Amino acid sequence: MYIRHSPLNSRDSELDRFRFRIAFAASVVVLAFAILIGRFIYLQIIQRDYYTTRAEDNRISLVPITPNRGVILDRNGIVMARNYSAFTLEITPSKVESLDETIEGLGKLIEILPKDRRRFRQLLEESKSFESLPIRTRLSDQEVARFAANRYLFPGVEVKARLFRQYPLGAIASHALGYINRINKGDLAIIEKHEQEANYKGTDHIGKTGLEQKYEFQLHGETGYEEVEIDAGGRAVRSLARTVPVSGNNLTLTLDARLQEITEKAFGDRRGALVAIEPSTGGILALVSTPSFDPNLFVDGIRTEDWEQLNNSPDRPMVNRALNGAYPPGSTFKPFMALAALELGKRTPNQTISDPGFYNFGGHVFRDDKKGGHGLVDMYKSIVASCDTYYYMLANDLGIDNIARFMGSLGLGQKTEIDIEGESEGVLPSPEWKKRRFKRPEQQKWFAGETISIGIGQGYNAYTPIQLAQAMAAVANDGVIYRPHLVRYITDSRTGEKTLIEPKPLRTLPWKQQNIDTIKNAMIGVNKEGTGARAFSGAGYVSGGKTGTAQLFSLKGGDYKAGNLKQELRDHALFIAFAPADQPKIALAVLVENGGFGAQSAAPIARMVIDYYLLGKLPNGPVQDDETPEEEE
C-alpha cells in the first residue's frame, strides 16, 4: 500500500502524513482534556453546594445526648427515684462480623454470665437495627481498664457511660413509682403519638407503670445533640458543637416515704392494700399494695427468671391491689348507708329498730352476725356495733336506685382518676349496671331481695381500696371531695419553677353538717367503744373508724392453692378511718386479703399508720393479728 516510487519524494510525503497524525492525536488530547475540565466545572462550580453538603453529611454525625431523667422526691424531700452513672459494655451488632466470637472473646476479658448472654439475645430480638446493645452493665473500673487495653481487638464493641435509674428505697412504694424498662414497639407508638420521636433518639428506656409511666414526658427531659466529626469507619474524631440536653422535670410527691415504708412493714407478709389520703387536698400520703416488687430489677432489662417469678407467684406482686383490686366493702359500707338515710330523710339519728337477729324479706331470712340480735338499735349503735339488721331494713327502705345514686356521688364504682394508670372501676350495683353486665334477659332483672345484702356492703358491691379511701376522705372533709393524686408539684429543671398540681375539689356534696357530724360521731364511737376500740385503745388522739369483713372474693378469681388453705378460706378484713376527729389530717382505707375480721388485722395496721403520721411514733415491727375472740361485726 505504501510502496514508494521515489525515495526522496515519498519520504517527505510520509513525514507529512505522520505529522498530520500527530496533529490529529493532539486534537484528540485537547478534546479529551476539555471534557475533563468540563466535568470538573460541573462538579466543582455548578454542583458544588450539593457535594459540599454531601461531604458535610459524611463527616458530621449528630449524636444524641440523653438527658437526665427527672428525680422523684417524697413530700419531705426523700429521694425515691434517681439516676446514677455506670459503665456498660455495648455491642453494635451491625458492625460485628460474628456475634458469638465477639462475645466469646469478650468473655475472656470480662465476666459475662449466662444471664447476660440471655438478656443480650432478648434485646437483640427486640432492638432497632443500628443501636448498640449492652452485653454487660455496671462494669468495675478494673474491667473498664482491661477492655480499654484490648479495645482494638473488638471493633463494634465499646464502653459507654450510661445513666441508670435507681430506686433507693427498693421495693418501697414500687406500685406508686412504677418502673422503667427498654422501649418496645408499643412504647414507640405512644412516642409517635406525642410527636416525641426526635426527642427519644438516644433514649432506650421509658416508664412502664406508675408515676414513671404517667409523667414520662415530664421526667424525660429534652435530648441534647453533639455534632461529631466521624471518619469513614464511623469512629468519632472530634466534637464540633454541642446542644446541651435539658434534664427532665422533678416530681415532688404528696406521698410520705417514711409513712409508706412503715405501712408496708406493718403488713408484714400479708397480702393487701392501704390508701391514705390527706382529706383537705386529696393528696395521697401512702399507697400500698403488698406484696410488692423491686423496680430496680427492671432497670437494665429484667432477667427472665425474675420476670416469671413475679408473674407466676400466686401472691401476684405485680398487681396493684390498691387501684386494681375490687373488693366488697363489707361493713365499712354502713356509715355511707347511714349518711344516705339521713340525707334522704329515711331515718333520723334517734329512730330505733328492734333487732331480733335476722330480717325476713320475701320469705328469705337475712341473718345478723350476732345471734339473738342487738336489741334496740339507733343509728349510733348500728355503726358502733355494726348491726346488720338495721341496714337490711334501711336498704329496703332506701331502694337500690337511691343507694346507687348516693354511693355514686361519693365516687364509688368509678375511676378516681388518680395520676397513675391501671385503675379498675369496681362495681356499683344498680338495675342499670345489671343490664349492662349480663346478656341474658332473665339475668338482667334486678330482684328486690338483691338490694338487702347491698345494705351491708355485700352482694354485687365491689370497690377498690382507693375508692373507699376517697369516700372516707369525703366524709372526713365534710362533703368536699378531691381527686386523689400522688404528685404535689413538678419542678421545671430549667427555671426551677414549681407547678403545683392544684387540689381542685371535684365536687362539694350538699350534705347537712349535722348529718355529717352524726356519722363522724358514730365512727368515733367505733374506735372508742365499738369494734375498733381494741385496736385504738390508748391512742393519743381522737379518731373515727369502721371495721368491715368482706366475704371471700379472691382477686380475679385467681387460684390460691399454693398458700395455706385455712388462711385462704378466711374473709378479707377491711378498715376505714380518719383522724384527728375534729380536723382530719388523714383518711384511709385498709384491706387485708384473707385477714379475717377487720378489727383483727386491718384496724391494727390503721392504728400504726395514724400513730406514725400524727405522733411520729415508730412501730416495733409488723402488726400482730389480734387473735382474741372479738365481738362480731
Partner 1 sequence: MFLKLLYRFRTRLVEHIDGPLLAISLALMAFGLATVYSATYDANSRALSQLLNMLVGLAAMWGVAQLPPQKLMRFAVPLYILGVVLLVMVYLVGVKINGARRWLPVGFTRIQPSEILKIAMPLMLAWYFNKYEAALSFRHYLIAGLLLIVPFGLIAKQPDLGTAILVGAAGFYVIFFAGLPWKVIIGMTVAGVSAAPFVWTMLHDYQRKRILTLIDPTTDPLGSGYHIIQSTIAIGSGGSFGKGWLAGTQTHLEFIPERHTDFIFAVFSEERGLLGNCILVALYLLLIARGLMITANASTLFARVLGGSITLSFFTYAFVNMGMVSGILPVVGVPLPFMSYGGTALVTLFLALGILMSIQSHRMLVKK
The residue (of 31 and 448) whose beta carbon lies closer to partner 1 is 31
In whole angstroms, the minimum distance from the beta carbon of 16 to partner 1 comes to 11
In whole angstroms, the minimum distance from the beta carbon of 15 to partner 1 comes to 9
Among 45, 189, 365, 565, binds partner 1 (CB under 8 A): 45
Q: Specify the stretch interacting with partner 1 by CB under 8 A; choose among 43-51, 93-101, 127-135, 539-547.
A: 43-51
User: What is the C-alpha separation between 405 and 426, in angstroms, rounded?
Assistant: 15
Question: Under the criterion CB under 8 A, does residue 37 sit at the interface with partner 1?
Answer: yes
Question: Under the criterion CB under 8 A, does residue 113 sit at the interface with partner 1?
Answer: no
The residue (of 236 and 448) whose beta carbon lies closer to partner 1 is 236
Q: Specify the stretch interacting with partner 1 by CB under 8 A; choose among 230-238, 498-506, 574-582, 618-626.
A: 230-238
Question: Under the criterion CB under 8 A, does residue 48 sit at the interface with partner 1?
Answer: yes
In whole angstroms, the minimum distance from the beta carbon of 311 to partner 1 comes to 44
Amino acid symbol at 62? L
Question: Under the criterion CB under 8 A, does residue 239 sit at the interface with partner 1?
Answer: no
The residue (of 43 and 500) whose beta carbon lies closer to partner 1 is 43
In whole angstroms, the minimum distance from the beta carbon of 29 to partner 1 comes to 5
Query: Residue 44 burial (CB < 10 Å; 0-12/13-18/19+)?
Result: exposed
- Facing residues of 577 across strands? 545, 588
Question: Cell digits for 580?
Answer: 384527728
Question: Cell digits for 438?
Answer: 349480663
Size of the site for partner 1 (CB under 8 A): 40
CA nearest neighbour of 286 among 484, 464, 62, 542: 484
The residue (of 23 and 124) whose beta carbon lies closer to partner 1 is 23
The single-letter DSSP state of residue 595 is -
* Residues acting as catalytic residues: 331
The residue (of 229 and 632) whose beta carbon lies closer to partner 1 is 229
Question: Under the criterion CB under 8 A, does residue 508 sit at the interface with partner 1?
Answer: no
The residue (of 26 and 198) whose beta carbon lies closer to partner 1 is 26
Among 19, 115, 146, 436, binds partner 1 (CB under 8 A): 19
The residue (of 29 and 615) whose beta carbon lies closer to partner 1 is 29
Is there a contact between 544 and 577 (Cβ–Cβ < 8 Å)? yes
Question: Under the criterion CB under 8 A, does residue 242 sit at the interface with partner 1?
Answer: no
Task: Tell the residue number behind the cell numbers 462550580, with chain if given.
Answer: 45
Q: How far apart are the first and last CA of the chain?
A: 133
CB atoms under 10 Å from CB of 52, counted, come to: 10
Q: Specify the stretch interacting with partner 1 by CB under 8 A; choose among 228-236, 423-431, 585-593, 611-619.
A: 228-236
In whole angstroms, the minimum distance from the beta carbon of 95 to partner 1 comes to 13
Amino acid symbol at 437? R
Q: Specify the stretch interacting with partner 1 by CB under 8 A; choose among 231-239, 356-364, 374-382, 462-470.
A: 231-239
Report DSSP letters for 47-109, one per residue: SHHHHHHHHHHHHEEEEEEPPPPPPEE-TT--EEEEEEEEEEEEE-GGG-S-HHHHHHHHHHH
Report DSSP letters for 556-591, one per residue: GG---TTS-HHHHTSPEEEEEEEESSSS-SEEEEEE
Question: Under the criterion CB under 8 A, does residue 236 sit at the interface with partner 1?
Answer: no
In whole angstroms, the minimum distance from the beta carbon of 32 to partner 1 comes to 5
Among 12, 39, 94, 494, binds partner 1 (CB under 8 A): 39
Task: Tell the residue number behind the cell numbers 352476725, with chain if given.
Answer: 369
Query: Residue 202 burial (CB < 10 Å; 0-12/13-18/19+)?
Result: middle
x-or-dash string of contact with partner 1, 50-89, rule CB under 8 A: xxx-xxx-xx------------------------------
CA nearest neighbour of 379 among 476, 512, 519: 519
Residue list 141-180, contact with partner 1 (CB under 8 A)? none
CA nearest neighbour of 381 among 272, 280, 529, 510: 529
Q: How far are the Cα atoms of 192, 216, 334, 584 from residue 293, in angstroms, in the given order?
A: 30, 20, 34, 32
Question: Cell digits for 93?
Answer: 451488632
Question: Under the criterion CB under 8 A, does residue 432 sit at the interface with partner 1?
Answer: no
In whole angstroms, the minimum distance from the beta carbon of 21 to partner 1 comes to 6
Is there a contact between 4 and 17 (Cβ–Cβ < 8 Å)? no
The residue (of 29 and 62) whose beta carbon lies closer to partner 1 is 29
Rg (CA), the chain: 37
Question: Under the criterion CB under 8 A, does residue 115 sit at the interface with partner 1?
Answer: no
x-or-dash string of contact with partner 1, 448-477, rule CB under 8 A: ------------------------------
In whole angstroms, the minimum distance from the beta carbon of 1 to partner 1 comes to 6
Question: Under the criterion CB under 8 A, does residue 32 sit at the interface with partner 1?
Answer: yes
Question: Under the criterion CB under 8 A, does residue 376 sit at the interface with partner 1?
Answer: no
Among 9, 12, 13, 26, binds partner 1 (CB under 8 A): 26
CB neighbour list of residue 373: distance below 8 Å, 6 or more residues apart:
354, 355, 356, 357, 358, 389
516: alpha, beta or left? (left if phi > 0; alpha if psi -120 to 50): alpha
Among 35, 161, 376, 615, binds partner 1 (CB under 8 A): 35
Greatest Cα-to-Cα distance within the chain, rounded to the nearest angstrom: 157
Q: Provide the binding-site residues for partner 1, judged by CB under 8 A.
A: 1-3, 14, 17-19, 21-22, 25-26, 29-30, 32-33, 35-37, 39-41, 43-45, 47-48, 50-52, 54-56, 58-59, 229-233, 237
